[in-house]
Every structure is written in C-alpha cells, then in structure tokens.
A and B are shown apart, each in its own frame.
Chain A
Amino acid sequence: MKIKNTKGNILTENIIFIILNLVFITILILFIFSRISGASLLEEKYSKQISLMVDASEPGMTIYLNMEDALKTAKKNNVPVEGIVKIKGNLVTVDLRGKGGYSYSFFNGVKATANFDTEKKDAYFFFIR
C-alpha cells in the first residue's frame, strides 16, 4: 500500500509541476506579445512611418500603406477604421484606441490626405498634392 501511495504522489507532483511551468510560460509569452503588438506602439509606429513617407514624397504621388495589424487593433477597440489616420496641416495623427492617438509632424510642404481603402479594407492610401 505504501508503495502505491508514493507512486501516486510522484505523479501528482509532476503534473502540478508541469502545469505550473506551462502557466508560467504562457504568462510570459502573453506579456511579450502584449508589449510587441500594443495599440500605443502601433500608433507611434504608423504615425512616424506615414510622416516619413510624406516627407519623402513628391506632389502627384499616391502611396498605399498596408495597415492590417493597426486596423485589427482599431476594430478590437471599437474605433471606426475609416478615421484612424488623420492629417491636419503637417501633422499626422494615428488613433487606434479612441484616446487621441499619437501625432508626428512632417516638414514637406505638400498637402497630404489620408483615405481608407474601402475595397481591400486592409490599407490606407495617401494622396500627395
């Protein structure tokens, strides 16, 4: 009887140990993914990327930018995807959380407008005039 109990204890301990390890690793991975794909990080990334695009552009250009991950995040946060990128004067604002977003300015004197791609629904295109 004693031998049987011991074997049972070892198995239970091992299972608990493995479960705890799995929980631990899961929490770690979730933490890393939350950091990497956070809405605030995407707002900063896209506002800076769009500003640089506009800086390097010339009048007459149309630029397409795939923003699939940002659009997914905006949908998750119940923010209308048609209005997540705004360009006012020389200031680009990307808002994926409905909290004002992140803004970055560009120095190119062109007039830029941001439009949601209503056909593919995964991109924005920018008219440079």
Chain B
Amino acid sequence: MRKKGAEKILAVYWFAILLIVAGAIAYMVSSFYGNPYDIRDIEAGILTDKIASCVGDGGYLREDFFTPDFNENFLEKCGLTLQTEDTYGWKNNQYYLKLSVRNFNSFDDPFLEISEGTSSLGDFCGLEGATNPYCLKRSFYVIDKQQNQYQIDTLVIVRKTEKNVQ
C-alpha cells in the first residue's frame, strides 16, 4: 500500500514537472514568435548605401552635387521616397536622413547639410531602448574631379516602431 501511494505522489510530481516545462516552452515560443521581426537596422543600412551610391558617380562626387537643384530635390534625384503606409497614425514621418559635407583635410564644421524627413526623430538617437527609432551614422570619403577631398557624414533614422518592436 505504501509503495502504491508513493507511486501516485510521484506521478503527480511528474505531471507537475511536465506542466512547468510545457508552460516554459509555450511562454518562450510565444514571446519569441509573438514579437515582430525588427528589420529597421537593415532598412537603415540599405538607405545609407543608396545615399552613398547616389552621391558618388564612377568613383567621384557627382557633378551636380553642389547645385541648389540637387539639394532641394535630393529625394527625387536619388530615387527615394519617404512615404509610408497610413497605419498607427503614421503620417509619412517615419524617416529622417541627413548628409553633412566637410573638407576632408580640415576640422571645420560642415559647409553643406542636406536633410529630409522628420528632424525631431534625431532627438531619440543615443537613447537606450528598442522602442526608440533606429539611428545609423556612417561616414565616407569622396573626391570630386578636381581632386578636392570631402568627408560626408550620413545620419539615417528609421522609426516604424509599431511594426518592428512590441
């Protein structure tokens, strides 16, 4: 009788352990697959590459780079659009990009800045937390056909928090 009672108690413990293990697995799977895929880092990387490709032309700075037409119509000239879907109250304000151009051989402030999108997103850069917009800063060196050297710093910010982070 004692042995049988002990077996019953063991069986209860066994099921309790199974329930705990199953609960833990279910929780882990739900929390992992319940979160959306966060692709903002890839988006920001591609956008940075697109900007760099647009600014360069055959290894040199494109000839119309310093013209007002290029600066005023930067998105159109580079074949970019910052329009987003109208969900979660988004009103085409999910991106920000900025180019700062300076002479490579001096530590002067940038002599030209081009920016597009929602500048207020820049306030979140440097803050910790996945729910903040994703910021990507890159720099590249470029020369024009007169061999003048420039450094171009890019800042790309992608928000789209609701669709990438829960």
Interface residues in chain A, defined as those with a beta carbon under 8 Å from any beta carbon in chain B:
17, 20-21, 24, 28, 31-32, 35-36, 38, 41, 44-45, 48, 51-52, 55-56, 89-91, 103-105, 107-110
Please tell me if the beta carbons of A28 and B37 are within 8 angstroms of each other in the complex: no
A59 nearest CB neighbor, chain B only: B79
Report the Cα distance A107→B46, complex, angstroms: 10
Residues of B within 8 A of A31 (CB): 26, 29
Please tell me if the beta carbons of B46 and A32 are within 8 angstroms of each other in the complex: no
**How many residues belonging to B are interface residues under a CB distance threshold of 8 Å?**
32
**Is B25 an interface position by the 8 A CB rule?**
yes
Interface stretch among B81-89, B107-115, B137-145? B81-89
Contact A21/B18 with A31-B26, A52-B39, A104-B163 known, Cβ cut-off 8 Å: yes
| 7 residue pairs bridging A and B, Cβ less than 8 Å apart | A36-B29, A52-B39, A55-B43, A90-B83, A103-B87, A109-B78, A109-B79
Residues of A within 8 A of B18 (CB): 21, 24
Contact A41/B33 with A28-B22, A32-B25 known, Cβ cut-off 8 Å: yes
Contact A109/B80 with A41-B33, A104-B85, A104-B163 known, Cβ cut-off 8 Å: yes
Please tell me if the beta carbons of B22 and A55 are within 8 angstroms of each other in the complex: no
Residues of A within 8 A of B25 (CB): 28, 32
Given contacts A28-B25, A32-B26, A52-B43, 19 further A-B contacts (CB under 8 A): A21-B18, A24-B18, A32-B29, A35-B30, A44-B36, A55-B43, A55-B46, A55-B47, A56-B49, A103-B85, A104-B163, A107-B82, A107-B95, A108-B50, A108-B80, A109-B75, A109-B79, A109-B80, A110-B79
Nearest CB on A from B51, distance (A)? 11
Report the Cα distance A52→B47, complex, angstroms: 10
Residues of A within 8 A of B130 (CB): none
Report the Cα distance A80→B22, complex, angstroms: 37
Partner of A24, one of B22, B36, B95: B22
Residues of B within 8 A of A32 (CB): 25-26, 29
Residues of B within 8 A of A107 (CB): 43, 47, 50, 80-82, 95
Please tell me if the beta carbons of B33 and A36 are within 8 angstroms of each other in the complex: yes
Q: Which of A44, A48, A52, A110 has the most CB of B within 10 A?
A: A48
Report the Cα distance A17→B84, complex, angstroms: 56
Nearest CB on A from B40, distance (A)? 10
Report the Cα distance A109→B85, complex, angstroms: 15
Chain B 1-28 interface mask (CB, 8 Å, partner A; 1/0): 0000000000100010010001001100
